[in-house]
Amino acid sequence: MTEETLQKKKEIKQSFRLFMNGEASRSMREKGIDYKINWGINIPDLRKMAHAYGKDYDLAIELWKDDVRECKILATMIMPPEKMLPEIVDLWMEHTPSQEIAEMAAFNLYQHLDYAPLFAYQWIASDKPLELICGFQLLARLFMKGHEPDERGINEFIDQAQVALQNESMPVRHAASTSVVRFSELGETFRQVAQSAMESIGLNLQF
């Protein structure tokens, strides 16, 4: 870590005290969302901080290393997508501590990667809840951007979505449901495929 990066990280962590929200942090803990350190800072304030520092690969790498909610969210905001290597994505996914961070990473960073679909389809085939959540949320974002899967991708997505929609985890079911809705919005053919797939497992999602 360079001296400059070290100084930036120090400034950021010191600034957390100015934005801390004890009530939000306490509420998260009560809901089972636990971090080693959680300042409870809201997302708009974190976006302002990220904007002030701009895209910074080295700073993002260093922030992600800390088991602090705000550090990890900021890391997803300031990492330049074009510099994010696949092996770093693997490492970050392995050390993703919560549903919130999985969703933030998908929204702030992973959807902008050129190879995003590869990871999305890999994760929705996982048996790990956070990978499933991240994968389906990532696909939802890609579908919203107009990414149309080919026939193989459609079959893979539908198969995994049907399984996930029957998962015992509500966050996993929610992520899968969101992605199916976004998939159906790609066009009439996609809507019909989604409708048929949902009916086959006894679900009646509104498209």
Tell me the three-class secondary structure of the chain, residue by residue.
CCHHHHHHHHHHHHHHHHHCCHHHHHHHHHCCCCCCECCCCCHHHHHHHHHHHCCCHHHHHHHHCCCEHHHHHHHHHHCCHHHCCHHHHHHHHHCCCCHHHHHHHHHHCHHHCCCHHHHHHHHHCCCCHHHHHHHHHHHHHHHHCCCCCCHHHHHHHHHHHHHHCCCCCHHHHHHHHHHHHHHHCCCHHHHHHHHHHHHHCCCCCCC
Confidence category of residue 96, pLDDT binned at 50, 70, 90:
very high
Please state, for a pLDDT cut of 70, what percent of the chain lies above it.
92
Higher pLDDT pick, 14 / 31? 14
pTM value?
Answer: 0.90
The two three-digit tokens of residue 133, written as one number: 């959540």
pLDDT number for residue 33: 63
The two three-digit tokens of residue 97, written as one number: 């501590």
pLDDT number for residue 207: 64
Confidence category of residue 90, pLDDT binned at 50, 70, 90:
very high
What does the pLDDT look like over 151-204, one tens digit per residue? Answer: 999 999 999 999 999 999 999 999 999 999 999 999 999 999 999 999 999 887
Please state, for a pLDDT cut of 90, what percent of the chain lies above it.
82
What does the pLDDT look like over 59-73, one tens digit per residue? Answer: 999 999 999 999 999
pLDDT number for residue 114: 96
pLDDT number for residue 174: 96
Mean pLDDT of 104-117: 98
Strand partners, 68: 37
Alpha carbons within 13 angstroms on the beta-carbon side of residue 16 total 21
Determine the Cα–Cα distance for residues 158 and 137; give it in Å rounded to an integer.
14
